[in-house]
Structure 1
Amino acid sequence: MTTSHPGIHPRHGLDEVIHAPVRFSIVATLAAADKAEFGFVRDTVEVSDSVLSRQVGTLEKAGYVAVTKGYVGKRPRTWLALTPDGRAAFAAHCQALRAIAETAADR
């Protein structure tokens, strides 16, 4: 018989903001670069502009993503980048996922 210990299971290390599949995909994409253009992230994650905008808004409110607007020539562009807090949260979230997988494999 196993005893439950509140707060010990690695799932407690998951970040609820990042855990949603689309947000996780956005953060994973941004973790691989210093910054990425909105359209690149949209196409990589395979979502619409509106879905990406809404999810980026959630990540920005959490302090995980910085949004920068500018121009390339005369065309407006939006760039997305993980903040230091976003990078730390993503690393911790990934570590929690690995710990959950390892815990399951050890049983």
Structure 2
Amino acid sequence: MTDSPQERQPREALVNVIHSPTRLAILATLNRIQHVAFADLRDSLHLTTPELSRQLAILEKEELVEVAKLRVKRVTVTHVRLSDSGRERFAAYLDSLYAIVGEGDRGERADGREPDNETGTAPVDTAHTQGAPANGASGA
């Protein structure tokens, strides 16, 4: 291998606190919106209140999210948002993840095929799959 010892592997840039599937889902959701009510986030991710609270506490400690209590029509509502530094760190995390899977540019697919315009997926190459048993058996 010709890599110099100073070159950092993309996997080394992955932040473990983000890498948890639940926290990754929380950050991905918050990355698409400005802020969300705790209950709406909990329901959209199908989490329990204690589980979401625990995961948000971890993310808040790492300064990835901000949690605020707001008064809405005499009711206190907890809102969650991705912090500015959290947004930057999440983008860097995604860049590292794409580098690992071989997609330097998020618009490219690792296999080099163009994505389908409607679904964003590559078309299936049926020339190699026609006539093959559906269950994957070889027939021999």
Pick the TM interval, shorter chain: 0.7 to 0.9
> Where has structure 1 moved over 3 Å in runs of 4 or more?
2-7
- What code does the residue aligned with 2:87 have? R
**Structure with the larger helix share:** 1
Given the alignment of the two structures, is residue 63 of structure 1 paired with residue 68 of structure 2, yes or no? no
Q: Which amino acid aligns with 1:43?
A: D
Question: Where in structure 2 are the equivalents of 1:4-83 lying within 5 Å?
Answer: 8-83=8-83
- Identical columns (%): 38
Q: Which residue of 1 aligns with 2:126?
A: none
The alignment partner of 2:102 has SS state of helix
Aligned residues: CA RMSD: 1.9
Distance 1:53 1:96 in 2: 27
The two structures have a TM-score, normalised by structure 2, of 0.67
Deviates more, 1:29-38 or 1:68-77: 68-77
* Distance in 2 between residues matched to 1:53 and 1:5, nearest whole Å: 43
Q: How many residues align?
A: 104
- Give TM-score, length-normalised by structure 1: 0.87
From the superposition, tell whether residues 4 and 48 of structure 1 become closer, same or farther in structure 2 (CA, over 3 Å).
farther
Find the structure with the greater CA-based Rg: 2
Find the counterpart in structure 2 of residue 90 from structure 1. 90
Gaps of 5+ in 2: 104-109, 112-140
* Structure 1: gaps spanning 5 or more residues: none
Higher relative contact order (CA 8 A, sep 6+): 1
Distance 1:94 1:46 in 2: 23
